[in-house]
Amino acid sequence: MKRLLVFKSKNIETKVVKIQYKNHIATMKPLTKELIRELWSKTYNKEGKPDWSHLYPYYHDDIIFQDSIQKIKGKEEFKALCNRLTERCEKLTMDIYNIAEQQNVFIFDWKMEMMFRKWSSTPIYGATKLTIAEDNRIINQRDYYDLWGDIFNGIPWFHKPYRNFMKRYFG
């Protein structure tokens, strides 16, 4: 059950979304650029493993998530993806640089640093496009990044030959 409650006060309209999932009811603020920055900043902390639990209510049950590696359909599959990433990373942080909004779409660019068990921290630069459904939940998330280029930059003996190859054949 989804309900959109609208409150008007002094010519200011505030929307609050109530979502019922199983036996839980969540009341959420509508997604804005400021709220996205706040929520994602809580997710990727500076001292340890990420925690997406506060974000899950903002994801639609029929979420489609896609990045350079995979395409995931459904909230439970998305949660499983997040759990796998948490298990594999010793540390994961994200800095959000800019956020743009147009109608029901948000796009933001970021730098994510991941540290795996035996490797030093690896920065990955990318962008995320969020599409918001009518009920104010994320129905589609598409992450764009150059996974191999950013990872290869972190391998001392390999990054120069890789970049020379890319420049020679694609530059």
- Hey, is 140 helix, strand or coil? strand
CA 132 to chain centre: 13
Tell me the residue range of the domain where 52 lies. 31-170
In a domain, 88, yes or no: yes
Query: 14: pLDDT confidence band, cut at 50, 70 and 90?
Result: very low
In a domain, 52, yes or no: yes
In a domain, 50, yes or no: yes
Distance CA(167)–CA(171), nearest Å, equals 4
- CB count in 10 Å sphere of residue 63: 23
The token pair that represents 119 in the structure block: 């490797």
* Termini Cα distance of the chain: 52
pTM across the whole model? 0.77
The predicted pLDDT at position 10 comes to 40
In a domain, 13, yes or no: no
* CATH code, domain carrying 116: 3.10.450.50
The predicted pLDDT at position 88 comes to 80
In a domain, 129, yes or no: yes
List helix spans (H) across 89-158: 147-153
pLDDT tens digits, 50-108: 888 889 999 999 999 999 889 999 999 999 999 988 888 777 888 999 999 999 999 99
Of 129, 132, 90, 92, residue with least CA distance to 109: 129
The predicted pLDDT at position 25 comes to 53
In a domain, 56, yes or no: yes
| Total domain count, the chain | 1
In a domain, 3, yes or no: no
Query: 3: pLDDT confidence band, cut at 50, 70 and 90?
Result: very low
**Residue length of the chain:** 171
In a domain, 60, yes or no: yes
